[in-house]
Chains A and B, each alone.
Chain A
Amino acid sequence: MTTVRHAMTYFESSARRYRYVFRGSMFASFLNPILFLSAMGLGLGQLVDQQTGEAVIDTFSYVTYLAPGLMATTAMSTGASDSSWPVVAGLKWLKTYHGVLATPLTVGGLVLGHVAFVFTRVLFVSLVYGLVAVAFGALELPRALLAILPAGLTGLAFGAAVMGFSSYLDRDVGLANLFRFGITPMFLFSGAFFPITQLPEFIQPLAIATPLWHGVELTRAAGLGVSTSWHPVLHVLVLAAFTVIGLSVARRKMTMRLIS
């Protein structure tokens, strides 16, 4: 299994590399949940709770309802951004992937190692999110930790799928569009802030087709102890499918570009 060995090597290098560049992103990992939970959860949440909120979102206060949703969206944006600019840079802007492939490493090892590192980072970011949510009183401790797993899976699915997407790109226009027309709408409409049953009926299938909705369902179920819309295994399978397809697309396209 040389691919796995190469993936471990690349994973280790990514971790080592991260030590030099982490400062900004580490700060963001803590700051983001604090900002979002205070603004959306506490600020907006009080209004929601005073109004009709409780009928729509079970018996939870809004900040509690929101916390696992936000954990999943944070996982999404971490996975997506780690697999967007860095991947196009490796392929095109800095050509660092060309350097990697001049060594014994293979495209398969690079792709797998990259996504494994993204997964680790997502798990860490989710852990921070969970702890901040506990500090806010939004989640309770054992469940906050349990939610890290489905959030990690969500980030993994995005890390892989976005890598597949990025492997086709040469310019940052494509990435800007990915975030403008993909990630941001998902962030807003995939059930993190309100149940998708609030959406017009004809839009709902669109929300269901996004990987984020499945991630939110699982993360919320784990974080709050509620049940998922579909059988949990189905949600997991959807995320797994995005992961596998994203990885194989990335591997195919990156082979075409790097070994040509």
Chain B
Amino acid sequence: MPSDSLVVAKGLTKRFGDFVAVDNIDFEVRSGEAFGFLGPNGAGKSSTMRIIGATSPASDGFIEVLGLDPEFHGSEIRQRLGVVPQEDNLDPELPVDANLIIYGRYFGLSRSLIKERIEELLAFAQLSDRAKDKVDSLSGGMKRRLTIARSLINQPDLLLLDEPTTGLDPQARHLLWDRLYRLKQDGVTLIITTHYMDEAEQLCDRLVVMDGGKIVAEGSPAALIQKHSPREVVEVRFPVGVQEGVVNRLEDLGSRIEALPDRVLLYTDDGDRAAEEIHKRGLFPETILTRRSTLEDVFLKLTGRTLVD
């Protein structure tokens, strides 16, 4: 194993009874990078994260985390991990700082060390003025930041973030992204799952696209987009009932066309020209929007489905 890989998985598989949640996947996470799992609900992201987090045994295949086998060295691995689970599991009856103290003690840290770190972590999570408030009284975004602060109490070598911003409003999401970006700058290795393509594009150096338990593509966000999608996308919306009749008259305008229930996507290297041509042909869409290609388009091409439905 190359010394700079913190996680190596080969043929990793997770079954729940007959159901295959993670289907024979290979990936490698290198020290210092932000690595992403992008996929819709049910893709197998959390199942994979829990295997990496040494709280779920793999059914098959090879997995090594921090050079150790999670099946036999779970405690040692977890000692060096930070985990932000998909669902917060803070203790709502306790104040913010007590949540951190208790968690730090689970890692065997001394009280004085924990006290020191709490101050820094609360400042980092922008919760310093809420230290004595019950967790119950925090907003969703604050709880999420507290969970991240909690996951850093042991100064982990590897931080696992399972859908860190799902369910948060845009402002709270941007604040969280900023915090995660800082961690990345500090050299913390991050593994992030998400079904938001903008999150993956913003935070991940490299990512794998998952669907139905399988990895369908991998690379940097830019490389994935370049490889799988023309530069631009023209989104065309027609009045209700019109789309079906005119879709075939758009087909030659791009290298690929996707007819979604509510709009048509035209993939092309020159969006403006395609838009002009639509007007020239006397089609009258309600709206036309030209934008650059995103990971969402990559996902759509690879799986025929959208990420968030």
Contact = CB atoms under 8 A, between A and B. Distances in A.
A17 B85 contact: no
A50 interface: no
Nearest to B47: A260
B255 interface: no
A103 B103 contact: yes
A20 B132 CA distance: 11
A101 interface: yes
A103 B106 contact: yes
Contact of B78 (A10, A16, A20, A102): A102
Nearest to B153: A103
A133 to B, nearest CB: 32
Given A98-B89, A259-B57, A20 B95 contact: yes
A18 to B, nearest CB: 10
A180 interface: no
A2 B55 contact: no
B91 A17 contact: yes
A102 B83 contact: yes
A55 interface: no
B85 A105 contact: no
Contacts of B92: 94
A17 B94 contact: yes
Nearest to B80: A104
Interface in B88-119: 89-95, 98, 101-103, 105-108
A100 B107 CA distance: 10
Number of contact residues on B: which range applies?
A: 20 to 34
B201 to A, nearest CB: 28
Contacts of A20: 93-95, 98
A99 B94 CA distance: 14
Interface in A100-142: 100-106
Contacts of A258: 55
Contacts of B83: 102
A189 B87 CA distance: 44
Contacts of A17: 91, 94, 98, 102
A102 to B, nearest CB: 4
A12 B55 contact: no
Contact of A99 (B57, B90, B93, B101): B90
A104 B75 contact: yes
A21 B105 contact: no
Chain A interface main SS type? helix
A2 B98 contact: no
A105 B106 CA distance: 7
Interface residues of A, number: 25
A99 B75 contact: no
Interface string A10-32: 10110011001100000000000
A245 to B, nearest CB: 26
Contacts of B75: 2, 104-106
A21 B91 CA distance: 12
Contacts of B81: 102
A171 B256 CA distance: 50
Interface in B40-65: 53, 55-57
Greatest chain B CB density within 10 A among A20, A100, A258 is at A20
B56 A102 contact: no
Contacts of B89: 94-99
B79 interface: yes
Given A2-B75, A13-B102, A98-B85, 16 more contacts: A12-B105, A16-B101, A17-B91, A17-B98, A17-B102, A20-B95, A20-B98, A94-B89, A102-B81, A103-B79, A103-B106, A103-B107, A259-B55, A259-B56, A259-B57, A260-B56
Interface of B: 16, 53, 55-57, 74-76, 78-79, 81, 83, 85, 87, 89-95, 98, 101-103, 105-108, 154
The 4 closest A-B pairs by CB, nearest first: A103-B106, A99-B89, A95-B89, A102-B83
25 contacts: A2-B75, A9-B105, A9-B106, A10-B106, A13-B106, A16-B98, A17-B98, A94-B89, A95-B85, A95-B89, A99-B85, A99-B103, A103-B79, A103-B107, A103-B154, A104-B75, A104-B78, A104-B79, A104-B106, A104-B108, A105-B75, A105-B106, A258-B55, A259-B56, A260-B16
